[in-house]
Amino acid sequence: MKALGRCLALVAAACLAGGCGSKKDALEVAAFKGGYGIDFYEKAASEFASKNPGLNVEVWGNPRVWDQLAPRFVSGNPPDLSLPGWDMRVWALIYDNQLEPWDAALDGPAPDGTGTWRSKFLPATLKLGEYDGKVYLMPFYYSVQGWWYNVDLFAQHGWKPPKTWTELLALCDKIKAAGIAPITYQGMYPAYAIAGFLFPWAISAGGMQAVDDAQNLVPGAWESPAMLKAAQMIDEVRRRGDFQDKAIGMSHTVSQTEFIEGHAAMIPCGTWLHSEMGKQLPPGFRMQFFLPPVLDDNKGDPTNVCFSVEPWIVPAKAKHKKEAIAFFRYMTSLAKAKEFVQTKGTLMAIKGSDQVDLPDYLLEAAKASRQAKVSWSVMYGQWYPEFSKETEGAMSALLSGSATPQEFCDRCEAAAQKARDDTNLRKHQVTH
């Protein structure tokens, strides 16, 4: 009994000294364990440790890593480097001065080749993490958002992905005639419809400025002719019965299952779709990406692409900032970036990393990303979550037919006004 007590005391002392489960002075890396897992980071950590004798790198992660990170930030003992995942409000951390800017390191030499480290990133992906002229959020992999079609279903019927609004409506008629729903969507999460229908069609109707103004809370932007036109287009698709029946009640997994099972021919989603559906994909199922169809008199850049990143962060209170940045720098070398693209089947924010054998489902998305003259992202949801929730509610009402396009715009504009007037809300600017 005495021995047991002594053992417990020793374990307690060890925990207090070094933190349970981590070696003393190890570089601690916490990562969101989503569809891409954390095995890549674990492998990179052991490679990095072998190149830096005396340095231990510990990687841990899980699908709700943000829940563990929040109390670590509050207690002032955060991990040295984190991929905090999609549900962490990283902007709140920036506002509270909890994050370290990366600029000094970014202006240093690149991990391989010539030039600065900054020059190796796709500029638009770096820009997403800027606040007050400094980069706090580092991009790694990124997703391109657009529409997907069922390749074999299209081939079987001789259909082609529509490029214009007229082509879309004509195709929807053919698809309906074949007894299939033309378009399904993630109705329980209206943010998909904002990124997949509303904003692309607002850009098409009024150019990039229409959506930039909306995200920048410019007075009248949510009631602009372009935004109203986009809302009218959504309403028209609904009234024509081109959306899958009851898609309004479908979660992302349900609607995406409807798509891969061939009950619906097209769906708006990001390049994570393939990894998200993973094991549910029927053997041999093929899907391909295409840009949302534009108006026949398109006013937007025809190559514009919507994308998003899940950023990495170094806390201001990290104990090993230098090593954390060095490790992340190692992971963004061209060789490692290419390895990530190949093993995980996603695109990376490092220039040239897509010059590998990409999986078929990524080919068109990669091409669209390469050719894009304008890249944009839906950022207002992260900056103004309350306002975002209201626009999602309005979108839900529009999709269900309980709000007219004008009512949708009026409701969003009223919410934008409220956000504009909220002096506690830090304001951001999207520019192109």
- Residues near other proteins (CB under 8 A) are 70, 73-74, 76, 87, 89, 92-93, 95-98, 187-188, 190, 245-250, 254, 385-386, 389, 392-394, 396-397, 400, 402, 424
> Residue with structure tokens 């510990």?
58
Nearer to other proteins, 78 or 111 (CB): 78
The C-alpha atoms of residue 183 and residue 245 are separated, in whole angstroms, by: 9
The C-alpha atoms of residue 221 and residue 226 are separated, in whole angstroms, by: 9
Nearer to other proteins, 193 or 430 (CB): 193
Shortest distance, CB of residue 267 to other proteins, whole angstroms?
A: 15
Shortest distance, CB of residue 402 to other proteins, whole angstroms?
A: 6
Shortest distance, CB of residue 2 to other proteins, whole angstroms?
A: 25
Helical H runs in 109-242? 123-127, 151-157, 165-177, 191-193, 199-206, 208-215, 225-239
Nearer to other proteins, 332 or 391 (CB): 391
Nearer to other proteins, 122 or 415 (CB): 415
Shortest distance, CB of residue 28 to other proteins, whole angstroms?
A: 18
The C-alpha atoms of residue 128 and residue 144 are separated, in whole angstroms, by: 14
Nearer to other proteins, 72 or 286 (CB): 72
Is residue 408 within 8 Å of 193, Cβ to Cβ?
Answer: no
The C-alpha atoms of residue 305 and residue 288 are separated, in whole angstroms, by: 15
Shortest distance, CB of residue 425 to other proteins, whole angstroms?
A: 11
Shortest distance, CB of residue 195 to other proteins, whole angstroms?
A: 17
Helix %, strand %, coil % of the chain (to 5): 50, 15, 35
Q: Tell me which DSSP letter residue 8 carries.
A: H
Shortest distance, CB of residue 249 to other proteins, whole angstroms?
A: 2
Nearer to other proteins, 375 or 382 (CB): 382
Structure tokens at 291: 């840009």
User: What's the chain's Rg over C-alpha atoms?
Assistant: 23
The C-alpha atoms of residue 259 and residue 256 are separated, in whole angstroms, by: 5
The C-alpha atoms of residue 156 and residue 171 are separated, in whole angstroms, by: 14
Neighbours of 337 (CB within 10 A): 25
| Start-to-end CA span in the chain (Å) | 70
Nearer to other proteins, 7 or 414 (CB): 414
Nearer to other proteins, 288 or 404 (CB): 404
Q: Taking the mean position of all CA atoms in its chain, how far away is CA 1? A: 54
Shortest distance, CB of residue 198 to other proteins, whole angstroms?
A: 15
